[in-house]
Structure 1
Amino acid sequence: MLDMRRMQILRAVVTSGSVTAAAANLGYTPSAISQQVAALEREAAVPLLERAGRGVRPTEAGRLLSGYAAALGRTVAEAETALADLREGRTGRVAVRYFGTAGAPLMAPALARLRASHPGVRFDLRLIDPDDPLPEVRHGRADVAVVVRPPDGEPAGLTLLPLLDDPYRVALPAGHPLAGRSVLSLGDLADEPWVGSERASDPCLALVLDACAAAGFSPGFVVESGDYATALGFVAAGLGVALIPRLGLRGVPPGVVVREVRGPEPVRSICAAVRESMRVPPAVRALLDALAEAAGDLEPSAG
């Protein structure tokens, strides 16, 4: 096998035209240079240099290996530059999973920031509704997942970084008797027909049911929609009331009024999930910072 360091020494001899000049340029003795070239000739099993007056010139094999040494030098330099860019977060690939209502208010502005500050980073961005993205992160198929904090606490092997508290609001038909109030008690909705906006497997459903239980009742669902836009459509049609998180209230249709709810106020906590054991790469850290900034921009409009 050819020694790459010796190939670079051969290239120095070929470009400088003599062993003595190459030794001076590299900081070696001429004897050491000659020994390295001789060792490379044994590896190549062919002469690489020949005498030319007071200097040397490459044989055909010497020119061949010198050319490859130059190409290898460029490749190593490119590799070092690429590695430095990756290490500093200027390049890389970040796999992200997110749920639907986090897309427009959180993911979009975060990625817009990163496009300007980290143009060399590529993002593999996938919507995960209705699947649970946490196994994707735990097993290394994703770097970050934007999720609602599970009701049973921090999942094993993962770290949840808080981004935003997203309070629920009650959506009422515009002509509803309670629509004249600015703030409702959750108990005021005990006898109302309810439009379900969460899937049965969604942790947010447990949050809504627990809040209603704390207010002393179980909601009577007359319609199950599984998404916020559809639920708002059913509310607009007068079929019932619905609890919907603030981030899900984009594009409220005519015929629906939205009011705050207290006693208690259900709140879902939106977090970024990363592997507990992961040394966070700079590109991932940049994304987490951008998500935190986007979440901070949403906070003043809460309520």
Structure 2
Amino acid sequence: MLDVRRMLILRTVVTTGSVTAAAANLGYTPSAVSQQVAALEKQAGTALLERVGRGVRPTAAGRLLTEHAAVIGRQVAEAETALADLRAGRTGRLTIHYFATAGATLVAPALARFRQSMPGVRVDLTMTDPEDPLPEVTRGEADLAIVVCARDAHHEGVHLVHLLDDPYRAVLPKGHRLAARRVLDLADLADEPWVGSERPGPCLDVLLAGCAAAGFSPDLLVESEDYATAQGFVAAGLGVSLIPGLGLANRHPGLVVRKVRAPEPVRAIHAAVRETSLGDPALGGMLTALRDATRR
């Protein structure tokens, strides 16, 4: 196999016209240049240079390799430029997975801000409901995922950036006996029929853990697994529900929403990235944009 570095040295010898000039150009000794050319001739199985006076000129094989070396040189230069752009965050590609309620509130404004600062980076978005996207980060299928997990959670090889806490609210039909109260103890809902709002996963775990801490398990009359549908069932008077604040962005007019306490279930929303990718400037830019969207 031909050595690319030696081919580039040969090209310098041919373009400068002598081993001495090539050595000066490359910062090598003439002896080192001659040794590299001799090694390339051994690999090629034929002479590549012939002496002409005090200089050299390429043989047919030398011209052939010099032409290919010129192409390689251009490609290397292009690769170096592309790498520099990537390192500086001027180009690149990010794959982001997110769940539905984080889309409009966090991902959309963050992406708009990110595109202003890093317009050359392509961002591919995928909504992953109902699946938890964290495993997709660990498998390398996503560069960043918006996830729900405990604030002290630890996952091997994954760095979690806390974005916000999203508290659950009691959702009641208008005219409900508890609607006049501004804040409810979670236990006040223990004997009510319930409308489910969560699919199995981290969010449902938060809800059920809160109810368990209040001393009961909710009696699910209807399981909708969707915030908008759950609101419709509650407004129809079929039961009460707990829905996180981000899930109430489009509130049904037939509802009353109240804070809950003792305890107040809260889902902690994080950005999950691989620890090995923390130095990526594009990823860093997206994390900054997500934090800004959270603050706003």
The TM-score range, normalised by the shorter chain, is: 0.7 to 0.9
Gap change, CA 1:43 and 1:263, over 3 Å in 2: closer
Partner of 2:118: 118
Deviation at 1:20, TM superposition (A): 4.3
* SS class of match (1:278): helix
Structure 2 match to 1:278: 276
- Please list the CA deviations of residues 23-76 of structure 1 after superposition, one character each: whole Å capped at 9, or x if unmatched: 443345555544544443343333433455664433332222111111111112
Q: CA offsets, 1:239-282, max 9 Å, x none? A: 2221110000121122223222223222111122334x535231
Cα RMSD, aligned residues only: 2.8
1:195 aligns with 195
- Look up the equivalent residue of 1:126 and give its one-letter code: T
Amino acid in structure 1 at the alignment position of 2:195: V
* Equivalent position of 1:205 in the other structure: 204
Alpha carbons 2:98, 2:146 under 8 Å: kept: yes
| SS of equivalent residue, structure 2 residue 122 | strand
Distance 1:203 1:33, change over 3 A: closer
What is aligned with 1:300?
A: none
Helix, strand or coil at the partner of 2:211: helix
Number of equivalent positions: 295
Secondary structure (helix, strand or coil) at the match of 1:253 reads: coil
Q: Which letter does structure 2 place at the counterpart of 1:4?
A: V
Equivalent in the alignment of 1:246: 245
Helix, strand or coil at the partner of 2:142: coil
Q: Which amino acid aligns with 2:121?
A: V
Q: CA deviation at 1:112?
A: 1.9
Does the aligned pair in 2 maintain the 1:95–1:124 contact within 8 Å?
yes
Change (3 A) 1:37 1:186: closer
Give the TM-score taking structure 1 as reference length: 0.83
Question: Does the Cα contact within 8 Å between 2:157 and 2:276 map onto a contact in 1?
Answer: no
Task: Please give the residue correspondences for 1:54-203 in structure 2 after superposition, counting only pairs within 5 Å.
Answer: 55-150=55-150, 153-155=153-155, 158-199=158-199, 201-203=200-202
User: Which letter does structure 2 place at the counterpart of 1:84?
Assistant: A
Q: 1:295 to 1:273 in 2, by over 3 A?
A: same
Helix, strand or coil at the partner of 1:75: helix
Runs of at least 5 residues in structure 1 that lack an aligned partner in the other structure: 298-303
What is the rounded CA distance, in whole Å, between the counterparts of 2:210 and 2:7 in structure 1? 73
Deviation of the 1:105 alpha carbon: 0.9
On the 8 A contact 1:151/1:207 being kept in 2, the answer is no
Cα distance in 1 for partners of 2:151, 2:66 equals 65
* Closer, same or farther: CA 39–150 of 1 in aligned 2, 3 Å: closer
Contact 1:87–1:281 (8 Å) recurs in 2: no
Which amino acid is the alignment partner of residue 242 of structure 1? S
User: Which segment drifts farther, 263-272 or 53-62?
Assistant: 53-62
- The answer to whether the 8 Å contact 1:170/1:242 transfers is yes
1:230 matched to which residue of 2?
229
CA distance in 2 between counterparts of 1:26 and 1:205 reads: 65
Q: Deviation at 1:197?
A: 0.6
CA distance in structure 1 between the partners assigned to 2:32 and 2:137 by the alignment: 53
Letter in 2 for 1:144: L
Counterpart code for 1:105: T
Cα distance in 2, alignment partners of residues 17 and 156 from structure 1: 57
The answer on whether the counterparts of 1:50 and 1:57 sit within 8 Å (CA) in structure 2 is yes
Query: Identity over the aligned pairs, expressed in percent?
Result: 67
CA gap of 1:257–1:12, structure 2 versus 1, over 3 A, is same
Return the offset for 1:170: 1.7
Q: Aligned to 1:226, what secondary structure does the other structure show?
A: coil
Cα distance in structure 2, aligned partners of 1:95 and 1:152: 25
Distance in 2 (CA, whole Å) between partners of 1:9 and 1:236 is 78
Q: Distance in 1 between matches of 2:166 and 2:31?
A: 74
Structure 2: state its 5+ residue gaps: none
Secondary structure at the counterpart of residue 265 of structure 1: coil
Report the TM-score when normalising by structure 2: 0.85
1:257 matched to 2:256: yes
